[in-house]
Structure 1
Amino acid sequence: MTTTPEAAPAATPERRLHPLSWLFVLIKQLKQFIVPLIALFFFGRGDRNELWPLIGVGVLALASVWQYFTYRYRIENDRLIVRSGLLHRSLRQIPFARIHNVAVHQSLLHRMFGVAEVKLESAGGEKPEAEMRVLKLDDALALEALLRRRATSGADAAATGAAEGDGELLLQLPPAEVLRLGLISNRGLIVLGGGAAAVSQFSPRAIPNLIEPIAKFLFGYAGSHHFGPMQYAIAGLGLLAGFVILLRLFSMVLALLQYFGFALRRQDRRLTVERGLLSRLRSSVPTRRIQAWTLSEGVIHRLLKRRSLRIDTAVAGKQDDPRGLSELAPVATPQVCDALLQRLLPRAQWPLAQWNPLHANAWWRLWLPGIVFALILSAGLGWKFGAWGALGLLWLPWAAFAARQHARRAGYAIDERLVAVREGWWSRHWRFAELDKLQALKLTRSPLDRRFGMATLHLDTAGAGALAPPLRVRYLPDAEAEALYRRLAREIARRPLRW
């Protein structure tokens, strides 16, 4: 919030940012111009008009220096006060109890100068409460520790002060596990996409110009050796395998850069994650702000006997911000994930023992999208190839098999503390939340659901991420869905909301 200077508490010594903060602010502002500037420097034709963008760079530099000289902060007993601006002045008073997440970020350049960027987030609003670019690393860590202590009240504050240090280590990923994470994930596509976007900045035709001679060489080689259908098929599969291997190598490199040295610690009632090889990120959040949990495993997860554990938190801004704390275990064995949940949810019994199935005909509803897809595919192939289009109907038995497997595995469970949903067959996930964190319920029935006597119950919590699977129980028998809705409604009504 913004207040007038007259509302400020009694004066205490104010502090400035690091003397080099203006440089880091300037670099952040120039990121969107860096590729055009490089292109101008290396490929410019010497026209004076091309130098006009440099004037904008000079203006940004002056603005960055201006921000350094006008930015002040001080720490009071129960709040952080930030003052900025000279002509347009702003005074922000941020109570410690409002701060739910403290992120300390160090890029490679930050580490070279021994500084860090601090971002303070709350449960309300779309932007962080404050961003400090940059502080001396010792000051940043001291500020983080102070905010962690001050945000805890009463006896908990004394316990937090007595527990100073790194806290209890809950999970640490060795380099071998980080490489497994890269092998599991598809982060290699991010590298290729970013490289393609950067190359396109220099020339829109750069990528086609690169692919065209390679394609000509490959097809020319195949033609000169008189490849038959089998040789073309083997060559195509070889190229596909090489591409997949290249993606996985890129993915493992990116995983090392992002998750090297990953460590999850708990200090009193706060979780802290630190990770990164060149750029180090340290983020923390109170455990009471965790709204929902997601255990997931794909095909490669199961081959390597691994799972991933993510959380949703009631924190401002984008839930999928890479600087936020959303991954408690990017990769770990099922036993480690279960043990971690038992430590962090001591009042709940995880894994839940009793799972309830879906409606007996739920697989029909799950099969319906496959039927529609097969009909559209057959129609398109039939329009192009005539009677051969009927081959598209071969998708139907596979879709039916997948729907049956999904319906067989899907279900829900509920006890005195948790409500959980499991879904998926090829790629599986378990989504669950404490009953205290539920905020809203919604029971829906489509015309097709009414025809089959089914209903779907949607459960809402604060802070659900855009990429997180929905917390819902699909395709229950009508009577069972109504009974579950009434039971959860009573639980929500009698329990105090904790978020």
Structure 2
Amino acid sequence: MSESSDLKKLHPLTVVLRLTDSIKQIIVPIILAIILTFKGDISDSSWKDWIPSLVMVGLLFIYVIFGVIEWLRYRYRFEDEHIYVKRGAVIKSERYVRYNRIQSVRTRANVLHRLFGLAALDIETAGSRGRPEVTLPAITKDEADVIKAFVHNKQQTNMASSTDSHDKENLKPPETKTLYQLTLKEQVVVSLTSSAVGLILAGFLAIYSQLSDVIPEDTYTYLWGTVLHTSVVFLIVFIILCLAVLWVVSAIVMFFRMKAFSLTADEKEWVIKRGILEKKEQKIPVRRVQAIRITEGLLRQPLGYATIYAECASGSGEPGKGAGTSVLVYPLIKKTDIPKLVGNIIPAFSYSQEITAIRKNSLWLKLFRAATAPVVISIVLSILFPWGWLAFLSLPLAVLYSYLCYKDSGFGQSKEQLLFTFRTLAKTTVITKKHCIQAMSHSSSPMQKRFDAATAQFSVMASLAGKTFKVRDLPRKTAYHLLDWYRP
């Protein structure tokens, strides 16, 4: 790759990619426009009925025009000390990115990219704030590989020029020491036990909220009357069928997302690849990891499986600058294999300390907290509806949930490491280092004070506001002890 080459341009497919991204952002208004246009008899419609659809067509036409202009004006060049990018459909801008500020270079490819042998390339810097500093939406895969190698060589050269010749032998890229890949069986288990049902349900509810204004009021009246006069058995069967459909859809979505998942790790960096319809590659510098989070979902815990995440700080190295993120490190692993994997990919966070459980009388606190809302809701539903008494069937689930919260709460501590384990819906274990903790505190509610209990929590830099983890209903002396451990 020549440093003195002329300004390069993107592949024309960039226009199509930007248009598809724009359509995704306005898909709900497009659906609304179509419904408003065709809700009546087309033969009796006037030109005014076509206004919503015409507005959407005009908007898409504007997106195409701006996409073409953006593509024509987008130019880039890799120079001796920096990357130069020139762009702008309306407001022209020029950007220089120095190689020594680059944190990661990653590629991704959706179906359109792969059809044309292309890839998108994202360059992240210390101050990217969760978004790439430079994005090349469509370039050839060969050029993407050349750029990645070129940037890596530039970074190595810059490092070599700032060190003594005695240390130059240590500047060679570290050899890959671990490679983990999901088997087909594990991919199926990930898909069938995923929690993506909630995300898909939220998507349906979001679409419904946008369409509710155009649904006739008579339809609501009819549906509500049908529900009130429908047998309880039919309602239960209908709800179960809906949940089954959502589960199947979520399993299919998760299978394609986790297809070809792999984790490559060395002492400085992790490379995570996944996806079949849209291939993604993510690079995580190990030094940015602030905590390791292990979750055991309701479906995966009985099978002995868990998921590993890393809470990562921004690359700026300064508090408050840039946003961190939670990174999926490995989607499915046997719980017994977790210490070995963590020890291999990030030895500083390897753990072996014993977990101290909370006191037995804390079970009453958790039972009160879990059962109060179901009892109140059940009483209200019983008054309002003939079948409302069925809501009391949720009480055994509340009791079971409170017991699981009690059983899965605890902590572990060593000289420089802290481990919290707790449950929301999934059982969660968090391991962090003392120097990674941004803040630590404890608190007691009036109910906790009666049981001489407290909540201990700590925060790490994994978002603009930090990410907080807490264990409820610890003995108050234990909470004070943890705070003393953290104090300098």
TM-score, normalised on structure 2? 0.78
| CA drift at 1:188 | 4.3
Aligned to 1:338: 339
Aligned with 2:11: secondary structure? coil
Aligned to 2:171: 158
- Residues 11/441 of structure 1: CA separation in 2 closer, same or farther (3 Å cut): farther
Aligned to 2:97: 94
Structure 1 window deviating more from structure 2 (284-293 vs 46-55): it is 46-55
Q: Deviations over 1:376-413 (max 9, x none)?
A: 23542564489x99998887676456434432431111
Answer yes or no: is 1:478 the counterpart of 2:476: yes
Aligned with 1:485: secondary structure? helix
- Residues 307/198 of structure 1: CA separation in 2 closer, same or farther (3 Å cut): same
Amino acid at match of 1:69: L
Aligned to 1:226: none
Q: Deviations over 1:158-196 (max 9, x none)?
A: 321x75xxx455211123221211110132454566567
Identical aligned pairs, as a percentage?
A: 22
Aligned to 1:128: 132
Amino acid at match of 2:409: A
Answer yes or no: is 1:72 the counterpart of 2:85: no
Amino acid at match of 1:283: Q
Q: Is contact 2:260-2:275 (8 Å) kept? A: yes
Aligned to 1:143: 147
- Residues 96/374 of structure 1: CA separation in 2 closer, same or farther (3 Å cut): same
Q: In 2, distance between residues paired with 1:371 and 1:54?
A: 53
Aligned to 1:256: 255
Aligned with 1:326: secondary structure? strand
Aligned with 2:195: secondary structure? coil
| CA drift at 1:156 | 8.4
Aligned to 1:6: none
Q: In 1, distance between residues paired with 2:67 and 2:117?
A: 19
Amino acid at match of 2:447: L
Aligned to 1:180: 189
- Residues 358/194 of structure 1: CA separation in 2 closer, same or farther (3 Å cut): closer
Amino acid at match of 2:187: V
Q: In 2, distance between residues paired with 1:394 and 1:199?
A: 29
- Residues 187/157 of structure 1: CA separation in 2 closer, same or farther (3 Å cut): farther
Q: In 1, distance between residues paired with 2:59 and 2:255?
A: 36
Aligned with 2:172: secondary structure? helix
Q: Which runs of 5+ in 1 are unaligned?
A: 1-9, 223-228, 491-499
Q: Which runs of 5+ in 2 are unaligned?
A: 161-167, 316-321
Q: Deviations over 1:86-109 (max 9, x none)?
A: 874423233334333434221101
Structure 1 window deviating more from structure 2 (478-487 vs 398-407): it is 398-407
Q: Is contact 2:461-2:467 (8 Å) kept? A: no
- Residues 415/282 of structure 1: CA separation in 2 closer, same or farther (3 Å cut): same
Q: Is contact 2:290-2:461 (8 Å) kept? A: yes
Show the 5 A alignment for 1:353-364: 353-364=353-364
Q: Deviations over 1:194-251 (max 9, x none)?
A: 5676699889549x989x89x99x999x9xxxxxx8xx74x66655554444333222
Amino acid at match of 2:471: V
Aligned with 2:356: secondary structure? coil
Q: In 1, distance between residues paired with 2:421 and 2:339?
A: 15
- Residues 64/393 of structure 1: CA separation in 2 closer, same or farther (3 Å cut): closer
How many residues in Structure 1 have an aligned counterpart in Structure 2?
458
Structure 1 window deviating more from structure 2 (364-373 vs 33-42): it is 33-42
Aligned to 2:319: none
Please tell me the root mean square deviation across aligned C-alpha atoms, in Å.
4.3
Q: In 1, distance between residues paired with 2:104 and 2:261?
A: 18
- Residues 465/421 of structure 1: CA separation in 2 closer, same or farther (3 Å cut): farther
